[in-house]
Structure 1
Amino acid sequence: MSTLTVAAIQYDISWRDKSANFSTLEHMISAVFNEHQHIDLLLLPETFSTGFCTTDPAVSVTDDGGEDLFWLKQMASQYGCVVAGSVFVRQADKKANRFYWVWPDGAVEYYDKRHLFRLGNEGDYVVQGNDRKVFDIKGIRIFPQVCYDLRFPVWQRNQQDYELLVNVANWPAARRHVWDTLLKARAMENQAFVIGVNRVGADGLGVAHSGGTVVLDYVGEPVATAVDDKAGVVVAELDFSELERYKESFPAYLDADDFVLN
């Protein structure tokens, strides 16, 4: 099994200001590629272009991803890697919190957030996704999740169909302990690498975010970690042959319970 080089960007998302966020990200991405010649997967936080402004009618959404998807395609083409992150996309009379997965050739896949944040009334404005997706890079199977999904282990249970779980988020500082703990739990229980990508700074509603962007191995140990409360990029090369050997030596997955997802 091959290796995968991943980069995860942690930054302070400008509230409802797509131009400012695109500009910030372009500078950060350029700096990453000046230092690293090759990256396979570049990850951005949840709602990276606007912040988590579910109720705000001033936030423009389109049926086809609009300028957000156009920008993602530009970045993927320019840097020759998959670029992924979530944005709001119109869906009937609501919108979807859509995790776009964009290839350098312009091909697009996506996952719509399954679990909607009840405390923030996300379900009043956002439609629930129902399709479990797994993407593939170089034979490495990657399971995309968005923020609140992290709390629901049944939905994330590894059915031996992925080696890497990715969660992109706007996870508040007040519940940072939960973020750190559940990311480790998901890695250990699923015997998979896990990447959590979070933002920093206060959003337009005054909600503080401390970061916690991290790459974990399959036993929950950190491979690379961002500095708290500071914008930055985490880069890691993951060797999936190590995961394969670990699962051969400790095949706990063979004793997992059968279940059916609705």
Structure 2
Amino acid sequence: MDELLNVALVQTSLAWEDPKANREELDTKLEALTSDIDLIVLPEMFTTGFTMSPRNIEKEEGQRTLAWMQQKAKEKDVAMVGSIVFFENDAYTNRLLFVEPDGKTSIYDKRHTFTLAGEDKVYQAGKERLIVNYKGFKICPMICYDLRFPVWARNTEDYDVLIYVANWPEPRITAWDTLLKARAIENMTYCIGVNRIGSDEVGHKYPGHSVVFDGLGKELEFSVKEEIVTTSLSKKHIHEVRNKLKFLNDRDRFTLE
């Protein structure tokens, strides 16, 4: 029997530096989801927008959003993933939270902080990659600028799904489209990109382009409007692709420092 993972991609506009307003807006939007969804994917910094002024956010907001995600995951019997501004141990991180229905939470701190915007000056970079086993799928979630660094996404664990959550602006959207497809093909995996939409308070415009590619780089879903896009991922597809085309067996062997 083919294992399936039903995923909802939440392509949404974001209120600037207002976690409460964003949580309330998402409460409303998520009410429309059907009961057969397994995983909800939210954008990068989905409670604030891509702010380089984390001190404008109450330090407790990270924990409040984590509690909100845990409650929402329990209510809807789904997993949720997205990144937020998080304060811990006297430092701010751009932290991705993967929250399962039973409350289990896995974390990934963005490794490649976006130096062009000065993210490296205000957010502490992460060092560890995350692989989550959920409903028979191995999932590797990453954040925005990580997309430009293929070695970090290299599929050495035979993961099934690669996810990027983002605030990726309009002027560089061709790179987003191209690199997501490349990551799917080179890693022989489903690749999901969830970008925000709308404009922020510092003048950046975001065109969406949330997308799903299969393990051969075929586009399954694509959106340029404010909406929730749903898709169904097949474990059988991944097995068939890798058994027929054993390209991953020929990958170079090396380790990252």
How many Å apart are 1:56 and its aligned residue? Answer: 4.4
Rounded Cα–Cα distance in structure 1 between residues aligned with 2:58 and 2:167: 19
- Pick which of 108-117 and 14-23 moved more: 14-23
2:141 corresponds to which of 140, 144, 164: 144
2:104 corresponds to which of 98, 107, 111: 107
| Residue 250 (str. 1) matches residue 245 (str. 2) | yes
How many Å apart are 1:202 and its aligned residue? Answer: 0.8
Match of 1:236 in 2: 231
Rounded Cα–Cα distance in structure 2 between residues aligned with 1:22 and 1:133: 25
How many Å apart are 1:88 and its aligned residue? Answer: 1.1
- Pick which of 115-124 and 49-58 moved more: 49-58
Match of 1:51 in 2: 49
Does the 8 Å CA contact 2:54/2:85 hold for their aligned counterparts?
no
Match of 2:84 in 1: 87
In the alignment, residue 233 of structure 2 is paired with which amino acid? L
Does the 8 Å CA contact 2:189/2:214 hold for their aligned counterparts?
yes
Per-residue displacement from partner, 1:160-187 (whole Å, max 9, x unpaired)? 3311000000000110000000000000
Match of 1:259 in 2: 254
Instruction: Give the 5 Å matches for 1:150-189.
Output: 150-189=147-186
Match of 1:8 in 2: 9
**How many residues in Structure 1 have an aligned counterpart in Structure 2?**
256
Match of 2:127 in 1: 130
Match of 2:219 in 1: 222
Match of 2:189 in 1: 192
Rounded Cα–Cα distance in structure 1 between residues aligned with 2:135 and 2:89: 35
TM-score, normalised with respect to structure 2: 0.96
In the alignment, residue 242 of structure 1 is paired with which amino acid? H
Does the 8 Å CA contact 1:15/1:204 hold for their aligned counterparts?
yes
Does the 8 Å CA contact 1:134/1:161 hold for their aligned counterparts?
no
In the alignment, residue 237 of structure 1 is paired with which amino acid? S
TM-score, normalised with respect to structure 1: 0.94
Percent identity, please: 39
**SS of 2:174 mapped into structure 1:** helix
Rounded Cα–Cα distance in structure 2 between residues aligned with 1:221 and 1:25: 29
How many Å apart are 1:100 and its aligned residue? Answer: 0.3
Distance 1:39 1:216, change over 3 A: same
How many Å apart are 1:51 and its aligned residue? Answer: 0.6
Does the 8 Å CA contact 1:87/1:99 hold for their aligned counterparts?
yes
How many Å apart are 1:89 and its aligned residue? Answer: 1.0
**SS of 1:214 mapped into structure 2:** strand
**SS of 2:203 mapped into structure 1:** coil
Rounded Cα–Cα distance in structure 1 between residues aligned with 2:97 and 2:71: 13
Rounded Cα–Cα distance in structure 2 between residues aligned with 1:39 and 1:167: 19
In the alignment, residue 49 of structure 1 is paired with which amino acid? T
Match of 2:39 in 1: 41
**SS of 2:31 mapped into structure 1:** helix
Q: Tell me, which stretches of 5 or more residues in structure 2 are unaligned?
A: none
Rounded Cα–Cα distance in structure 1 between residues aligned with 2:58 and 2:79: 25
